[in-house]
Structure 1
Amino acid sequence: MIESIRIKKLKNKKIIFIALDCSVSKAKAILKSVPKVRSKKYEIGIKAGYQILYSDKGRNFIKSLKGYKKFIDLKLNDVPSTVKNGVISLRDLKADYITIHASAGFDAIKLAKKYSGKTKLLAVSVLTSMNKKNLSEIGHTKKLDKIVIHLSKLAKKAGAYAMICSPHEAKKIEKLSKLPSITPGIRLPGDQSGDQKRIATPKFAFNNGAMGIVMGRSLIKGNIKNNFKRLFQHLNS
């Protein structure tokens, strides 16, 4: 009962994360073009990964951001003590979320949770750039959705806050693992999939139970203000 209440509260406001997989100067230009969103349904966040975090001015840029949910996407995956040290090294950024691969294992997730402070852990299931064939190539014999559910249950037990998964798996994870999801692999209708394989539209993802979505190319390529206009027209259609 407690878990169902928790998920219901998370659904009150959905998060649209802008994927800033770019330089700091490009990220600043992108955010200047992002329209202010005043919505009872949605709020805007940013996702920052390797390119920003490992640049000279990246950490200061992340610290300087105000008014956004901050999501650090390094997908930590190592022995538990190394993952713990990675989490500790990120605490000064005061991010809302950081990612860890669920496949790092129960002990790594549990230890990361212990040292994460107020930052919430998002456990990555199977990358949305991978499909059944790709999993087979690295030795997995189980069906993709079974792997995702198995990892989500493990992450739940270890203390993860939510899952990173494809939009197609969010509802099943919520039902079977009692965890909310944030979903990458999001494209506006008609946009190219790029290197993503398990993709869906923003509306599908939210209707399928996602608490948040991650969008890169569909929002930041071309005219950003027009892209946001398309996004909200799509969501409200």
Structure 2
Amino acid sequence: MTPTLLELLRSVDTPTVCNAIEVAQGKRGFNDFTRGTVQISDPSGVVVGKARTAKIAAKVPSTEDPALIRERRMAYYKYMSEGTEPSIVVIEDEDGADAVGAFWGELNTTVHKAFGLAGVLTNGVMRDLGDMAPDFPVVAGRVGPSHAFVRVTELDTPVTVFGMTVRADDWVHADRHGAVVIPADVIPQLEDAIRKTQATERIVLDATKAEDFDFSSFEAAWSAFENART
């Protein structure tokens, strides 16, 4: 992952990355993207990084020893502080569709940003929408007012968020559309694939700007587009 590619990835949306992965692979059908509608703290926010993973729960009180919960919490923060930049936090809320406990708000976004992390992907809850750390996108499942009984249950483990499985150190791209895991084997070709994706879309987009644009010119542009795309 070169600095040039990182800069490019931060400038494009997640649908473009999904299309570019298909271009790089030369086929359609990869499966490592989220399902369903997400919430995002900053509609213009884009986050890309290597995953630092954990699981949380919050709906009901824990039956574990409070000392163990505190120990795991500190181990979580230590783990997050040691990530190789850029890193994205990916957290699975084990309460799923019943998630009620907001782990992400003013405090945790500020702490994680200070650790050098780039943002968050979670199926869980966020709050403090007006007070979150700036330039730290949180892509979440919902918005809610309370932290309930939220606590960390696991860290540095495979997680599933919006139907997408993420492992520690996977490269993840996320924005208001959702997220995608970037396959490691396409990274060397990804910059060229993004450029090709953008160029092929321009065939149709530029055609629509012509003063004499009509169905015939659309048909010709679309044919050229289909011949160029994956």
Tell me the TM-score normalised to structure 1 length.
0.32
More helix as a share of residues:
1
Where relative contact order (Cα < 8 A, 6+ residues apart) is larger, the structure is 2
TM-score for the superposition, normalised by structure 2: 0.33
Structure label with greater radius of gyration: 2
